[in-house]
């Protein structure tokens, strides 16, 4: 993990309320695994805390982070111009370890699709992916090509304006049995992950399932405990350092 002063190469809108910023790093940071994240400065001294964003793509010394305009920090980010320098801490967290899995179901909703896209991008051609990706509506849809490159893509939208009407978890279970998987990876809002965990348990699905959690963060490096989550055995884990990826059975959602 390094703290670097990166140069903004591009910062552009890719869908309604979603932007992608590409940063050129001044030096290599070693291998970055899909599911790892970066802590990025907003580029304004009035925001002392960096924002955690999943690493969406790595291209040589360039990394791309996609962000949804949410509060003041991400809105400020949208005004960042190419050539500006931003402090970034990366790579953080553990990322998805696919092990030997060959047929992988990818279930993503909201900003959770960004780290998942990095996994598909890294292993496309080597492993077979079937991606179930949910958006609020078609105007929010992005990165479809990235997911298609990995294999079959099923899109769901809350309002039915693109693909099936529903969310990514519903899309996965409505297709259940048509494909066989040896691993499920997922990232999305807590309500989505809770629904996934409940339905996997209700159906007695034994396939290993890894989920990436999102918690408010302070330091991003395991020191402040702001990001603590409860594990199923009653202990606590730090999402930034012990995660953000956990086995779904291991954490309380
Ligand atoms: C591991 C991880 C990966 C993430 N990856 C992405 C991604 O790829 N794209 C994306 O759009 N969003 C991602 N998020 C969520 C993103 O960090 C927040 O949306 C963002 O920090 C909001 O900042 P803000 O200033 O606009 O919002 P504000 O609400 O004004 O933020 C105030 C403070 O709360 C923190 N905060 C607010 N919401 C969240 C949240 N959901 N998670 C963590 N901290 C939060 C902010 O970092 C900031 O310190 C990720 C979060 C985590 C923990
Ligand atoms: S954000 Fe400080 S310990 Fe995780």
Residues of the chain with CATH 3.40.50.80: 103-212
pLDDT tens for 190-212 read 999 999 999 999 999 999 999 99
User: Cα(186)–Cα(10) distance, rounded to whole angstroms?
Assistant: 28
Ligand 1, closest atom to CA 93? Answer: 1
pLDDT value of residue 70? 96
Q: Which CATH architecture has domain 2-92?
A: Beta Barrel (2.40)
3-state DSSP of 161-178: CCCEECCHHHHHHHCCCC
Identify which of 241, 242, 243 to mutate to test ligand 2's pocket (most ligand atoms within 8 A of the CB).
241
Cβ of 20 closer than 6 Å to ligand 2, yes or no, is no
Ligand 1, closest atom to CA 243? Answer: 1
pLDDT tens for 6-50 read 999 999 999 999 999 999 999 999 999 999 999 999 988 889 999
Long-range contacts of 56-60 (CB under 8 A, 24+ apart): 56/20, 56/114, 56/115, 56/117, 56/118, 56/143, 57/117, 57/118, 57/121, 57/146, 58/32, 58/118
Strand partners, 58: 63
For the CA of 239, the nearest ligand: 2
Supply the pTM of this predicted model. 0.96
Residues of the chain with CATH 2.40.30.10: 2-92
Cβ of 222 closer than 6 Å to ligand 2, yes or no, is yes
Ligand 1, closest atom to CA 75? Answer: 26
Cβ of 73 closer than 6 Å to ligand 1, yes or no, is yes
The CATH number for 103-212, chosen from 2.60.450.10, 3.30.1330.40, 1.10.4190.10, 3.40.50.80, is 3.40.50.80
pLDDT by residue, tens only, the chain of 253 residues: 999 999 999 999 999 999 999 999 999 999 999 999 999 999 888 899 999 999 999 999 999 999 999 999 999 999 999 999 999 999 999 999 999 999 999 999 999 999 999 999 999 999 999 999 999 999 999 999 999 999 999 999 999 999 999 999 999 999 998 889 999 999 999 999 999 999 999 999 999 999 999 999 999 999 999 999 999 999 999 999 999 999 999 999 9
User: Is residue 125 packed enough to be buried (19+ CB in 10 Å), middle (13-18) or exposed (0-12)?
Assistant: exposed
């Amino acid at each position: 993990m390094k703290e670097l002063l990166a140069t903004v190469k591009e910062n552009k809108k890719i869908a309604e309320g979603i932007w992608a910023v590409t940063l050129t790093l001044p030096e290599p940071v070693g291998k970055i695994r899909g599911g790892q994240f970066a802590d990025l400065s907003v580029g304004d001294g009035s925001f002392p805390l960096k924002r955690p964003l999943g690493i969406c793509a790595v291209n040589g010394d360039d990394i791309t982070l996609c962000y949804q305009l949410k509060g003041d920090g991400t809105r400020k980010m949208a005004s960042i111009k190419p050539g500006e320098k931003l402090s970034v801490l990366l790579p953080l967290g553990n990322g998805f370890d696919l092990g030997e899995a060959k047929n992988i179901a990818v279930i993503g909703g909201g900003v959770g699709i960004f780290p998942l896209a990095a996994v598909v991008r890294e292993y496309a051609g080597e492993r077979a992916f079937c991606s179930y990706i949910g958006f609020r509506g078609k105007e929010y849809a992005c990165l479809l090509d990235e997911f298609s490159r990995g294999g079959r893509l099923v899109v769901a939208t809350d309002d039915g304006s693109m693909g099936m009407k529903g969310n990514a978890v519903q899309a996965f279970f409505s297709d259940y049995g048509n494909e066989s998987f040896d691993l499920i990876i997922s990232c999305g809002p807590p309500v989505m992950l809770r629904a996934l965990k409940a339905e996997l348990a209700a159906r007695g699905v034994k396939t290993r399932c890894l989920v990436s959690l999102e918690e408010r963060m302070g330091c991003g490096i395991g020191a402040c405990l702001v990001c603590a989550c409860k594990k199923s055995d009653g202990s606590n884990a730090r999402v930034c350092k012990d995660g953000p990826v956990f086995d779904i059975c291991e954490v309380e959602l």
